[in-house]
Amino acid sequence: MKPASPPRNITSTKTQSNFVDNAREKILSARHHDPFEVLGRHVDGDKDIVRVFLPNAHKVQLDAQYDMQRIDNTDMFQWRGARTVLSHPYRVSWLDSEGHQHEIYDPYCFSPQIGDLDLHLFSEGKHEQLYRILGAHCRTVEGVEGVLFATWAPNAERISIVGDFNHWDGRCHPLRSRGGSGVWELFVPGLSAGTLYKFEIRDPQGNLHLKTDPYGRRFELRPGNAAIIEADSNYPWQDEEWLLARRDNDWQHKPLSIYEVHLGSWLKANVADDITENKNVLTPPAALGESAKNTQFLDYGQLAEKLIPYVKAQGFTHLQLLPITEHPLDASWGYQATGYFAPTSRFGRPDEFRAFVDRCHAEGIGVLLDWVPAHFPKDAHGLARFDGSALYEHEDPRLGEHQDWGTLIYNYGRNEVKNFLVASALFWLEEFHIDGLRVDAVASMIYLNYSREEGEWLPNRHGGNENLEAIDFLRQLNIAAHQRTPGVLMIAEESTAWPQVSRPTWLGGLGFSMKWNMGWMHDILDYFKKDPVHRHFHQDQLTFGLLYAFTENFVLPFSHDEVVHGKGSLRYRMPGDEWQQFANLRLLYTLMYTYPGKKLLFMGNEFGQGSEWNHDTQLDWYVLEYPLHQGLQSLVADLNQLYKKETPLHYFDFQEEGFQWIDCHDASQSVISYLRKDAEGNHIIVVLNFTPIVRENYRIGVPAPNGIDSNQREENKTCYRIIFNSDSSHYAGSNAGSGAPISIDNEPWMDHPCSLQLTLPPLAGLVLTLTNNIEDHSLIKNITP
């Protein structure tokens, strides 16, 4: 508990008179830098003087017995009396212009609440729980309940807290400046959770700025943008076992398959109840699909009931949400945030989002969030020129503005700005038990000349194009995240060849856990859009990625970025007729799930959404009445199970010992084949045919079965079985390719001591495993008979 605020001493009547006159003018014009110099309790010899500012008040009293006198014809009132008679804290009562009685504790009788150590850590950029200090926090101070408001605005002349409680009048509750820290604070008794508020900031030029709270933990629904006082959460988490397991999780050697979702457009609320009645969560009723445009969002509770069972049934290990930090514009998809410490109110309250995460963990699903420290919008109520100056951004647009996006770039060289961002990341990881952050647009942060022509950017102090401050920030961010929340995943969307993005900071890396493999994704999609008759000219696009596949810990992303801005859906980027389009998609996903790297698929891609993603409408669920869409959805579910079950497909996702080419040179037939291996010597064979031609008697080399020499092979029952065929009729394929056991031939082939002869289905992939049981048909369901 802080000590009572000591009364200020006034030494002479003349000085007091001049002081009061000057200070009164500043208070009345709402431009006083330190209202505590005027308002509150002050010592005058053996007397106390108390001053309050109450617009439209009369009959003002202290402690319901001491009358206060109006100063001239202003709304300032004063009492002068014996020092021993007032209580502490004292109460102020008055009648308003409509005759209503009011009584409050005086906000200006309380001492500063933010400690010097907190201010020091903030100025150093090292206060990792800054969200517990700045913003609005319900507190009990000296036995009085209220709310402590605090914000950072070093260049402001005056800051006030405004809301319905003071008729949005910036003269009523000016904040106390905490000197060189740039922090302002005020404890306002009587306020409670649920109250709307903003900061009114007067800059040195006298301009007023009405700003929402950068550290606000809840906001009103857009188009409103006021912050809402949110009490500290007492949510009863049930995921202790999940967090303990996560801390020690060997994620590099475990399967990780991510379903990327935009909560506002996965499913709309007007069809949610009907879907509940359908026992098969994979196929929402077809008749409801077209009617769900421009309707209400599902809330966090409804999403828990609908989305989580779907993700679990599809076999994904993680759910990745497009940004849910509060944002004013739906069309930004959340990537232009104004509330870095608040889940958007579009879907409910913060504790309801906690319950959503808790439910995910109970069902064995991790939760990742997109998080955007690269830029912020210019909205007048947000961070832009927060105190009338370029505070969070750079003054020079060559450093401080993204011309392409019309947004502002953070000034990573300011400790307080770095602290704001690091604290935001930790807030989500600690307060909401989030399992990781996907950091957006990292390339735009680390290059000063990102998307800029010559003369449109400024070099760093060494003359280079590296943003040294941003690099230091990213390292600080990742160190803090991994130290404070062990086991979380920090994933970079980084689209260049910047080295060691996913390597530890102590080795010179940026410290991320993983990085999106944008190069592989672009090459593969460019290859797949080509007519199969021309693909043999472009075999290198299939194989080039293996030259760098293990230089980083890669995620293979078919994300939202690939189905927007006129690119169309993945389905319609595939060549051929409808059947070939779906065969190509099945082949594309088979390649992704058997290729080194963790997996990511944007919602709708799993069932072949036909239209380009539109954030205003739900997915085209109605297409699931058609066999090709049903087949693709079943294929993705089976690929997830295959990826999780077969250790060679995930154990060495980041290490070259887990991959070996069998044949990458058969460009004339557009076929590739490779081995995936685990640490125990087990292996999986993958053969992919990128043409619509059935390849009969196609021979590939294979390793010799362990412990069996060439003379024993014919008598031994060891053979290969096809455990996955993307052309299976279960997936609406043509059912080419044999599901019977495939004997191992003694004939060496392609530098391997043994070989197999296969029938390769059209536009399809086969996955084979070694087995000693030729009668075993149970390795995975839905095997082509």
E strand residue ranges, 431-574: 436-439, 489-492, 514-516, 554-558
Structure confidence at residue 744 (pLDDT): 92
SS3 category, 676:
strand
Identify whether 648 is preceded by a cis peptide bond (ω within 30 of 0): no
- Amino acid making up residue 217: R
d(CA 766, CA 690): 12
Q: Which two tokens stand for residue 164?
A: 């319905």
Q: Is residue 209 part of a domain?
A: yes
Q: Which residues pair with 660 in a beta bridge?
A: 675
- The model's pLDDT over 232-259, given as tens digits with 9 standing for 90+, comes to 999 999 999 999 999 999 999 999 999 9
* Residue range 76-86: mean pLDDT, rounded: 92
Q: Is residue 391 part of a domain?
A: no
Place of tokens 């779907």: 310
Rounded to 10 degrees, the C-alpha dihedral 387/391/395/400 comes to -130
Place of tokens 């807030």: 427
Contact 359, 232 (CB under 8 A): no
Q: Which two tokens stand for residue 167?
A: 């008729």
Could you tell me the strand order of the sheet in which 683-689 lies?
Answer: 659-663, 671-677, 683-689, 764-771, 719-725, 742-743
Same domain? 46 vs 86: yes
Q: Which residues pair with 174 in a beta bridge?
A: 160
User: Is a pLDDT exceeding 80 seen at residue 501?
Assistant: yes
Residues 6+ apart with CB under 8 A from 655: 550
- The model's pLDDT over 318-350, given as tens digits with 9 standing for 90+, comes to 999 999 999 999 999 989 999 999 999 999 999
- The model's pLDDT over 726-773, given as tens digits with 9 standing for 90+, comes to 999 999 999 998 678 899 999 999 989 999 999 999 999 999 999 876
pLDDT tier at 276 (50, 70, 90 boundaries)?
A: very low
Report CA-CA distances (Å) from 441 to 374, 446, 508, 542, 560. Answer: 6, 9, 20, 26, 14
Place of tokens 């309801």: 352
Percentage of the residues of the chain whose pLDDT score is greater than 70? 91
Q: Which residues pair with 326 in a beta bridge?
A: 339
Structure confidence at residue 596 (pLDDT): 98
Rounded to 10 degrees, the C-alpha dihedral 363/603/284/334 comes to 90
Which helix (H) or strand (E) element contains residue 82?
strand 76-82
* Residue range 570-584: mean pLDDT, rounded: 97
Q: Which residues pair with 70 in a beta bridge?
A: 77
Structure confidence at residue 774 (pLDDT): 52
- The model's pLDDT over 138-165, given as tens digits with 9 standing for 90+, comes to 999 999 999 999 999 999 999 999 999 9
- Measured CA angle at 562 (ends 674, 481), to 5 deg: 80
SS3 category, 579:
helix
Place of tokens 């408001």: 149
* Residue range 68-75: mean pLDDT, rounded: 90
Q: Which residues pair with 407 in a beta bridge?
A: 402
Short-list 318, 312, 429, 450, CA closest to 375 = 450
Taking residue 502's Cβ as centre, other Cβ atoms within 10 Å add up to 22
Report CA-CA distances (Å) from 436 to 34, 368, 439, 538. Answer: 42, 5, 9, 37
- The model's pLDDT over 113-127, given as tens digits with 9 standing for 90+, comes to 999 999 999 999 999
Contact 510, 500 (CB under 8 A): yes
Short-list 177, 176, 181, CA closest to 123 = 181
The phi, psi pair for 731, rounded to 5°, reads -100, 15
Same domain? 62 vs 143: no
Rounded to 10 degrees, the C-alpha dihedral 412/414/416/417 comes to -30
d(CA 117, CA 122): 8
Question: Final residue of a domain: which of 228, 257, 287?
Answer: 228
Classify residue 450 by its DSSP letter: T
d(CA 671, CA 87): 87
Question: Final residue of a domain: which of 50, 78, 109?
Answer: 109
Candidate list 493, 523, 663, 678, residue with the active-site label: 493
Taking residue 451's Cβ as centre, other Cβ atoms within 10 Å add up to 13
Q: What is the CATH number of the domain that holds 85?
A: 2.60.40.10
* Residue range 568-572: mean pLDDT, rounded: 95
Q: Is residue 652 part of a domain?
A: no
User: Is a pLDDT exceeding 80 seen at residue 14?
Assistant: no
Q: Is residue 207 part of a domain?
A: yes
Q: Which two tokens stand for residue 262?
A: 């935009």
Candidate list 358, 431, 440, 638, residue with the active-site label: 440
Burial 252-291 (b: 16+ CB within 10 A, else e): bbebbbbbbbbbbbbbbbbbbeebeeeeebbbbeeebbee
Structure confidence at residue 610 (pLDDT): 93
- Measured CA angle at 367 (ends 366, 370), to 5 deg: 145
Structure confidence at residue 18 (pLDDT): 61
Residue count of the chain:
785
- The model's pLDDT over 255-271, given as tens digits with 9 standing for 90+, comes to 999 999 999 999 998 65
d(CA 88, CA 237): 39
What global pTM score does this model have? 0.92
Same domain? 34 vs 99: yes
DSSP string, 30-43: T--S-GGGTSEEEE
* Residue range 537-561: mean pLDDT, rounded: 97
- The model's pLDDT over 399-431, given as tens digits with 9 standing for 90+, comes to 999 988 999 999 999 999 999 999 999 999 999
* Residue range 385-393: mean pLDDT, rounded: 97
Share in percent of the chain as helix, strand, coil (round to 5): 30, 25, 45
Structure confidence at residue 19 (pLDDT): 59
Same domain? 130 vs 77: no
Q: Is residue 682 part of a domain?
A: no
Tell me, yes or no, if 440 is annotated catalytic: yes
d(CA 651, CA 644): 10
Structure confidence at residue 717 (pLDDT): 66
Structure confidence at residue 9 (pLDDT): 52
d(CA 379, CA 717): 70
Structure confidence at residue 784 (pLDDT): 40
* Residue range 294-311: mean pLDDT, rounded: 91
Same domain? 120 vs 222: yes
Q: Which has more confidence, 28 or 365?
A: 365
Q: Is residue 163 part of a domain?
A: yes
* Residue range 275-303: mean pLDDT, rounded: 58
Structure confidence at residue 6 (pLDDT): 55
Burial 200-231 (b: 16+ CB within 10 A, else e): bbbbeeeeebebbbbbbbbbeeeeebbbbbbb
The phi, psi pair for 318, rounded to 5°, reads -140, 150
Q: Which two tokens stand for residue 273?
A: 């109840």
Same domain? 122 vs 103: no
| Range 391-397 contact pairs with CB under 8 angstroms and sequence separation of 24 or more | 391/152, 391/153, 391/154, 391/155, 391/417, 392/214, 392/417, 392/420, 396/458
Q: Is residue 407 part of a domain?
A: no
Same domain? 49 vs 93: yes
Structure confidence at residue 20 (pLDDT): 62
Q: Is residue 400 part of a domain?
A: no
- The model's pLDDT over 678-719, given as tens digits with 9 standing for 90+, comes to 999 999 999 999 999 999 999 999 998 874 554 544 555 689
Q: What average pLDDT is seen over the chain?
A: 91
Going by their DSSP bridges, the two strands 135-141 and 695-702 should be labelled as unpaired
Tell me, yes or no, if 493 is annotated catalytic: yes
User: Is a pLDDT exceeding 90 seen at residue 3?
Assistant: no
d(CA 465, CA 350): 40
Contact 692, 580 (CB under 8 A): yes
Residues 6+ apart with CB under 8 A from 514: 489, 490, 491, 492, 502, 552, 553, 554, 555, 598
Same domain? 133 vs 194: yes
Rounded to 10 degrees, the C-alpha dihedral 489/494/496/502 comes to -10
Structure confidence at residue 739 (pLDDT): 72
Taking residue 519's Cβ as centre, other Cβ atoms within 10 Å add up to 16
When divided into structural domains, the chain yields a total of 2
- Amino acid making up residue 398: R
Structure confidence at residue 271 (pLDDT): 56
Q: Which two tokens stand for residue 287?
A: 């008749």
Structure confidence at residue 292 (pLDDT): 41
SS3 category, 349:
coil
Same domain? 127 vs 211: yes
Q: Which residues pair with 725 in a beta bridge?
A: 766
CA atoms within 13 A on the CB side of 467: 27
Same domain? 52 vs 152: no
Structure confidence at residue 293 (pLDDT): 46
Same domain? 207 vs 128: yes
Question: Final residue of a domain: which of 196, 228, 260?
Answer: 228
Q: What domain range includes position 87?
A: 8-109
d(CA 750, CA 685): 14
Going by their DSSP bridges, the two strands 742-743 and 719-725 should be labelled as antiparallel
Q: Largest alpha-carbon pair distance within the chain?
A: 114
Structure confidence at residue 713 (pLDDT): 47
Same domain? 100 vs 141: no
User: Is a pLDDT exceeding 60 seen at residue 287?
Assistant: no
Q: Euclidean distance between the first and final Cα of the chain, in Å?
A: 75
d(CA 354, CA 236): 9
Which helix (H) or strand (E) element contains residue 274?
helix 269-276
pLDDT tier at 283 (50, 70, 90 boundaries)?
A: very low
